[in-house]
Copies of this chain bind each other. A is one copy, B any other.
Protein backbone atom coordinates (compact mmCIF):
# COMPACT_ATOMS: atom_id res chain seq x y z
CA UNK A 1 0.00 0.00 0.00
CA UNK A 2 1.37 3.37 -1.04
CA UNK A 3 -1.59 5.68 -0.48
CA UNK A 4 -4.72 5.18 1.61
CA UNK A 5 -7.54 7.02 -0.13
CA UNK A 6 -10.26 4.39 -0.53
CA UNK A 7 -10.95 0.69 -0.09
CA UNK A 8 -9.22 0.10 -3.42
CA UNK A 9 -5.86 0.71 -1.74
CA UNK A 10 -6.37 -2.33 0.50
CA UNK A 11 -5.73 -5.85 -0.75
CA UNK A 12 -7.03 -7.72 2.24
CA UNK A 13 -9.47 -6.03 4.58
CA UNK A 14 -9.41 -8.93 7.05
CA UNK A 15 -5.62 -8.72 7.36
CA UNK A 16 -5.88 -4.99 8.10
CA UNK A 17 -8.56 -5.62 10.73
CA UNK A 18 -6.41 -8.29 12.34
CA UNK A 19 -3.42 -5.98 12.39
CA UNK A 20 -5.47 -3.21 14.00
CA UNK A 21 -6.75 -5.53 16.71
CA UNK A 22 -3.19 -6.71 17.32
CA UNK A 23 -2.20 -3.06 17.93
CA UNK A 24 -5.20 -2.60 20.22
CA UNK A 25 -3.89 -5.48 22.33
CA UNK A 26 -0.31 -4.31 22.08
CA UNK A 27 -0.05 -0.59 21.18
CA UNK A 28 3.73 -0.41 21.29
CA UNK A 29 4.48 -3.63 19.42
CA UNK A 30 6.13 -1.65 16.60
CA UNK A 31 7.43 1.30 18.62
CA UNK A 32 10.57 1.64 16.49
CA UNK A 33 9.07 1.04 13.05
CA UNK A 34 8.64 4.77 12.41
CA UNK A 35 11.77 5.99 14.18
CA UNK A 36 13.12 9.16 12.60
CA UNK A 37 10.11 9.31 10.28
CA UNK A 38 7.89 12.34 10.25
CA UNK A 39 4.20 12.50 9.51
CA UNK A 40 2.33 15.65 8.54
CA UNK A 41 -1.32 15.95 9.56
CA UNK A 42 -2.71 18.72 7.38
CA UNK A 43 -6.29 19.83 7.90
CA UNK A 44 -8.05 21.90 5.27
CA UNK A 45 -11.09 21.28 7.48
CA UNK A 46 -10.96 21.04 11.28
CA UNK A 47 -11.05 17.80 13.21
CA UNK A 48 -11.00 16.37 16.74
CA UNK A 49 -11.20 12.56 16.67
CA UNK A 50 -9.31 12.15 13.42
CA UNK A 51 -6.53 14.49 14.47
CA UNK A 52 -5.98 13.04 17.91
CA UNK A 53 -6.34 9.38 16.94
CA UNK A 54 -3.93 9.66 14.02
CA UNK A 55 -1.46 11.62 16.14
CA UNK A 56 -1.56 8.82 18.76
CA UNK A 57 -1.26 6.11 16.11
CA UNK A 58 1.83 7.81 14.69
CA UNK A 59 3.40 8.20 18.14
CA UNK A 60 2.72 4.53 18.93
CA UNK A 61 4.83 3.68 15.89
CA UNK A 62 7.60 6.03 17.00
CA UNK A 63 6.88 8.70 14.39
CA UNK A 64 6.87 12.41 15.08
CA UNK A 65 3.53 13.95 14.06
CA UNK A 66 3.32 17.60 13.01
CA UNK A 67 -0.18 19.09 12.87
CA UNK A 68 -0.98 21.95 10.52
CA UNK A 69 -4.49 23.42 10.50
CA UNK A 70 -4.69 25.18 7.17
CA UNK A 71 -7.83 27.24 7.48
CA UNK A 72 -6.74 28.34 10.95
CA UNK A 73 -3.36 29.60 9.92
CA UNK A 74 -4.16 31.78 6.94
CA UNK A 75 -3.06 29.62 4.07
CA UNK A 76 -5.66 29.42 1.31
CA UNK A 77 -4.60 26.98 -1.40
CA UNK A 78 -5.24 27.27 -5.14
CA UNK A 79 -6.12 24.00 -6.89
CA UNK A 80 -6.93 25.15 -10.42
CA UNK A 81 -4.27 24.64 -13.09
CA UNK A 82 -3.14 27.86 -14.82
CA UNK A 83 -4.91 30.08 -12.29
CA UNK A 84 -3.92 33.74 -12.30
CA UNK A 85 -3.47 34.09 -8.58
CA UNK A 86 -4.55 37.67 -8.04
CA UNK A 87 -7.39 36.74 -5.68
CA UNK A 88 -7.67 35.17 -2.23
CA UNK A 89 -5.54 32.06 -2.66
CA UNK A 90 -1.95 32.57 -1.58
CA UNK A 91 -0.27 29.36 -2.65
CA UNK A 92 -0.81 26.77 -5.39
CA UNK A 93 -0.98 23.09 -4.52
CA UNK A 94 1.73 22.60 -7.18
CA UNK A 95 4.09 24.58 -4.97
CA UNK A 96 2.76 23.60 -1.54
CA UNK A 97 2.49 19.82 -1.94
CA UNK A 98 6.11 19.15 -3.06
CA UNK A 99 7.34 20.94 0.06
CA UNK A 100 5.17 18.69 2.23
CA UNK A 101 6.95 15.92 0.36
CA UNK A 102 10.30 17.35 1.46
CA UNK A 103 9.32 17.85 5.09
CA UNK A 104 7.37 14.64 5.75
CA UNK A 105 7.66 10.90 5.10
CA UNK A 106 3.88 10.46 5.03
CA UNK A 107 1.31 13.18 4.34
CA UNK A 108 -2.10 12.77 6.00
CA UNK A 109 -4.57 15.29 4.71
CA UNK A 110 -8.21 16.21 5.22
CA UNK A 111 -9.93 17.94 2.33
CA UNK A 112 -13.66 18.67 2.03
CA UNK A 113 -16.48 18.92 -0.51
CA UNK A 114 -17.98 22.18 -1.72
CA UNK A 115 -21.42 20.51 -1.67
CA UNK A 116 -22.12 22.86 -4.56
CA UNK A 117 -20.24 21.44 -7.52
CA UNK A 118 -20.86 17.69 -7.66
CA UNK A 119 -18.48 17.06 -10.52
CA UNK A 120 -15.57 18.77 -8.78
CA UNK A 121 -16.28 17.09 -5.45
CA UNK A 122 -16.69 13.61 -6.96
CA UNK A 123 -13.51 13.97 -9.01
CA UNK A 124 -11.69 14.41 -5.66
CA UNK A 125 -9.68 17.28 -7.16
CA UNK A 126 -8.08 18.43 -3.91
CA UNK A 127 -6.73 15.17 -2.56
CA UNK A 128 -5.72 13.99 -6.02
CA UNK A 129 -3.71 17.15 -6.54
CA UNK A 130 -1.91 16.50 -3.28
CA UNK A 131 -1.18 12.91 -4.35
CA UNK A 132 0.03 14.13 -7.74
CA UNK A 133 2.41 16.75 -6.39
CA UNK A 134 3.52 15.58 -2.93
CA UNK A 135 5.69 12.69 -4.09
CA UNK A 136 5.22 10.79 -0.82
CA UNK A 137 2.50 8.43 0.46
CA UNK A 138 -0.77 10.24 1.13
CA UNK A 139 -3.37 9.14 3.68
CA UNK A 140 -6.90 10.54 3.52
CA UNK A 141 -8.16 11.94 6.80
CA UNK A 142 -11.50 12.33 4.94
CA UNK A 143 -11.81 13.71 1.47
CA UNK A 144 -14.69 15.22 -0.52
CA UNK A 145 -16.53 11.92 -0.97
CA UNK A 146 -14.90 9.28 1.25
CA UNK A 147 -13.68 8.69 4.80
CA UNK A 148 -11.69 5.45 4.63
CA UNK A 149 -10.12 5.57 8.12
CA UNK A 150 -13.63 5.78 9.56
CA UNK A 151 -14.83 2.85 7.46
CA UNK A 152 -11.87 0.66 8.38
CA UNK A 153 -12.62 1.55 12.01
CA UNK A 154 -16.24 0.56 11.51
CA UNK A 155 -15.32 -2.87 10.13
CA UNK A 156 -12.81 -3.36 12.96
CA UNK A 157 -15.51 -2.58 15.51
CA UNK A 158 -18.03 -4.90 13.88
CA UNK A 159 -15.43 -7.69 13.73
CA UNK A 160 -14.56 -7.13 17.39
CA UNK A 161 -18.20 -7.57 18.40
CA UNK A 162 -18.55 -10.65 16.22
CA UNK A 163 -15.40 -12.18 17.75
CA UNK A 164 -16.80 -11.59 21.21
CA UNK A 165 -20.14 -13.20 20.44
CA UNK A 166 -18.55 -16.03 18.43
CA UNK A 167 -21.02 -15.25 15.67
CA UNK A 168 -19.86 -16.92 12.45
CA UNK A 169 -22.86 -16.33 10.19
CA UNK A 170 -22.94 -13.04 8.26
CA UNK A 171 -24.47 -10.25 10.37
CA UNK A 172 -27.20 -7.99 9.06
CA UNK A 173 -25.78 -4.48 8.89
CA UNK A 174 -28.04 -1.49 8.27
CA UNK A 175 -27.02 2.07 7.63
CA UNK A 176 -29.99 4.35 8.15
CA UNK A 177 -30.24 8.02 7.21
CA UNK A 178 -31.02 10.46 10.06
CA UNK A 179 -32.29 14.05 10.18
CA UNK A 180 -29.81 16.89 10.72
CA UNK A 181 -29.92 20.66 10.66
CA UNK A 182 -27.09 21.20 8.15
CA UNK A 183 -26.28 19.78 4.73
CA UNK A 184 -23.51 17.25 5.42
CA UNK A 185 -21.19 15.43 2.99
CA UNK A 186 -21.98 11.91 1.80
CA UNK A 187 -18.44 10.75 2.75
CA UNK A 188 -19.16 8.49 5.70
CA UNK A 189 -22.12 6.77 4.03
CA UNK A 190 -20.35 6.39 0.65
CA UNK A 191 -17.27 5.01 2.30
CA UNK A 192 -19.08 2.65 4.69
CA UNK A 193 -21.03 1.24 1.73
CA UNK A 194 -17.85 0.83 -0.31
CA UNK A 195 -16.05 -1.01 2.50
CA UNK A 196 -18.88 -3.28 3.63
CA UNK A 197 -19.54 -4.24 0.01
CA UNK A 198 -15.90 -5.15 -0.62
CA UNK A 199 -15.62 -6.90 2.74
CA UNK A 200 -18.59 -9.01 1.63
CA UNK A 201 -19.28 -10.69 4.94
CA UNK A 202 -22.63 -9.09 5.69
CA UNK A 203 -26.25 -8.91 4.70
CA UNK A 204 -26.01 -5.17 3.95
CA UNK A 205 -28.96 -2.78 3.80
CA UNK A 206 -28.93 0.96 3.09
CA UNK A 207 -32.06 2.81 4.06
CA UNK A 208 -33.01 6.45 3.49
CA UNK A 209 -35.83 8.69 2.27
CA UNK A 210 -36.25 8.48 -1.49
CA UNK A 211 -34.47 11.76 -2.22
CA UNK A 212 -31.26 10.76 -0.47
CA UNK A 213 -29.97 8.12 -2.89
CA UNK A 214 -26.21 7.74 -2.88
CA UNK A 215 -23.87 7.33 -5.85
CA UNK A 216 -24.25 3.71 -6.98
CA UNK A 217 -20.53 3.30 -7.60
CA UNK A 218 -20.36 2.93 -3.81
CA UNK A 219 -23.71 1.27 -2.99
CA UNK A 220 -23.77 -1.41 -5.68
CA UNK A 221 -24.17 -4.78 -4.01
CA UNK A 222 -26.27 -3.54 -1.10
CA UNK A 223 -30.04 -3.78 -0.64
CA UNK A 224 -31.51 -0.28 -0.81
CA UNK A 225 -34.85 0.54 0.77
CA UNK A 226 -36.87 3.58 1.81
CA UNK A 227 -38.69 1.67 4.57
CA UNK A 228 -36.81 2.14 7.82
CA UNK A 229 -38.90 -0.41 9.78
CA UNK A 230 -38.32 -3.09 7.20
CA UNK A 231 -34.62 -2.35 7.14
CA UNK A 232 -34.19 -2.52 10.90
CA UNK A 233 -35.93 -5.88 11.19
CA UNK A 234 -33.50 -8.40 12.70
CA UNK A 235 -30.51 -6.12 12.16
CA UNK A 236 -27.34 -6.96 14.12
CA UNK A 237 -25.73 -3.55 13.58
CA UNK A 238 -27.47 -0.23 12.97
CA UNK A 239 -25.30 2.63 11.72
CA UNK A 240 -27.01 6.02 11.94
CA UNK A 241 -25.81 8.85 9.70
CA UNK A 242 -27.11 11.95 8.04
CA UNK A 243 -26.08 13.04 4.57
CA UNK A 244 -27.32 15.68 2.14
CA UNK A 245 -28.78 14.84 -1.26
CA UNK A 246 -26.55 13.42 -3.97
CA UNK A 247 -28.76 13.66 -7.05
CA UNK A 248 -29.88 17.29 -6.71
CA UNK A 249 -26.55 17.89 -5.04
CA UNK A 250 -25.87 19.09 -1.48
CA UNK A 251 -29.42 19.90 -0.39
CA UNK A 252 -31.68 19.15 2.53
CA UNK A 253 -34.99 17.85 1.20
CA UNK A 254 -37.27 16.10 3.64
CA UNK A 255 -35.93 16.35 7.17
CA UNK A 256 -38.65 14.20 8.65
CA UNK A 257 -38.14 13.75 12.45
CA UNK A 258 -39.76 10.34 12.03
CA UNK A 259 -36.37 9.16 10.74
CA UNK A 260 -34.73 9.86 14.11
CA UNK A 261 -33.68 6.55 15.66
CA UNK A 262 -35.42 5.65 18.93
CA UNK A 263 -35.48 2.68 21.29
CA UNK A 264 -38.90 1.78 19.98
CA UNK A 265 -37.42 1.30 16.52
CA UNK A 266 -34.44 -0.57 17.96
CA UNK A 267 -36.87 -3.15 19.29
CA UNK A 268 -37.36 -4.31 15.69
CA UNK A 269 -33.72 -5.38 15.53
CA UNK A 270 -31.90 -8.47 16.74
CA UNK A 271 -30.72 -6.60 19.86
CA UNK A 272 -28.55 -4.61 17.45
CA UNK A 273 -25.44 -2.66 18.31
CA UNK A 274 -25.78 1.05 17.58
CA UNK A 275 -23.01 2.78 15.60
CA UNK A 276 -22.32 6.43 14.69
CA UNK A 277 -19.12 8.10 13.55
CA UNK A 278 -19.64 11.13 15.82
CA UNK A 279 -20.16 13.98 16.46
CA UNK A 280 -23.85 13.23 16.91
CA UNK A 281 -26.71 15.66 17.50
CA UNK A 282 -28.71 14.15 20.34
CA UNK A 283 -32.46 14.10 19.97
CA UNK A 284 -32.13 15.14 16.34
CA UNK A 285 -30.33 12.17 14.74
CA UNK A 286 -30.80 9.78 17.66
CA UNK A 287 -32.75 9.92 20.89
CA UNK A 288 -30.88 10.12 24.19
CA UNK A 289 -32.20 6.71 25.21
CA UNK A 290 -30.53 4.97 22.25
CA UNK A 291 -27.20 6.68 22.79
CA UNK A 292 -27.30 5.96 26.50
CA UNK A 293 -28.29 2.32 26.11
CA UNK A 294 -25.80 -0.53 26.68
CA UNK A 295 -26.06 -1.48 23.00
CA UNK A 296 -24.54 1.80 21.91
CA UNK A 297 -20.91 1.23 20.82
CA UNK A 298 -20.02 4.71 19.58
CA UNK A 299 -17.28 5.21 22.18
CA UNK A 300 -15.71 1.86 21.36
CA UNK A 301 -15.91 2.86 17.70
CA UNK A 302 -14.24 6.25 18.23
CA UNK A 303 -11.56 4.62 20.35
CA UNK A 304 -10.82 2.18 17.52
CA UNK A 305 -9.90 5.08 15.25
CA UNK A 306 -6.42 4.87 16.79
CA UNK A 307 -5.93 1.22 15.79
CA UNK A 308 -7.25 1.72 12.27
CA UNK A 309 -4.82 4.57 11.71
CA UNK A 310 -2.00 2.62 13.28
CA UNK A 311 -2.61 -0.37 10.99
CA UNK A 312 -2.62 1.88 7.92
CA UNK A 313 0.51 3.82 8.86
CA UNK A 314 2.29 0.61 9.78
CA UNK A 315 1.43 -0.91 6.39
CA UNK A 316 2.74 2.15 4.55
CA UNK A 317 5.93 2.24 6.60
CA UNK A 318 6.58 -1.42 5.95
CA UNK A 319 6.06 -1.13 2.19
CA UNK A 320 8.15 2.02 2.08
CA UNK A 321 10.98 0.14 3.73
CA UNK A 322 11.19 -2.64 1.21
Contact = CB atoms under 8 A, between A and B. Distances in A.
Contacts of A281: 85-86, 90
Contacts of A284: 84-86
Among A56, A64, A72, A282, find the residue whose CB has the most chain B CB atoms closer than 10 A: A282
Interface in A89-110: 90-92, 94-96, 98-99, 101-103
A69 to B, nearest CB: 7
Interface in A260-305: 278-284, 288, 291-292, 298-299, 302-303
A183 B83 CA distance: 21
A146 B299 CA distance: 30
A278 B38 CA distance: 22
Given A83-B282, A283-B82, A303-B102, A66 B74 contact: no
A25 interface: no
Contact of A36 (B28, B51, B91, B279): B28
Interface in A29-83: 36, 38, 40, 46-49, 51-53, 55-56, 59, 64, 66, 68-69, 72-75, 78, 82-83
Nearest to A52: B103
A186 to B, nearest CB: 19
Interface residues of A, number: 56
Contact of A38 (B56, B83, B298): B56
Among A56, A75, A102, find the residue whose CB has the most chain B CB atoms closer than 10 A: A102
A291 B95 contact: yes
Given A278-B91, A280-B91, A303-B103, A73 B72 contact: yes
Nearest to A45: B74
Nearest to A304: B102
A291 B99 CA distance: 14
A27 interface: yes
A181 interface: yes
Contacts of A56: 38, 66, 103
Kindly list the 3 A-B residue pairs having the minimum CB-CB distance in the complex, ordered from nearest: A102-B303, A91-B279, A85-B281
9 contacts: A47-B73, A48-B96, A52-B103, A56-B66, A69-B73, A91-B278, A92-B280, A92-B282, A94-B291
Interface of A: 27-28, 36, 38, 40, 46-49, 51-53, 55-56, 59, 64, 66, 68-69, 72-75, 78, 82-86, 90-92, 94-96, 98-99, 101-103, 181, 278-284, 288, 291-292, 298-299, 302-303, 306
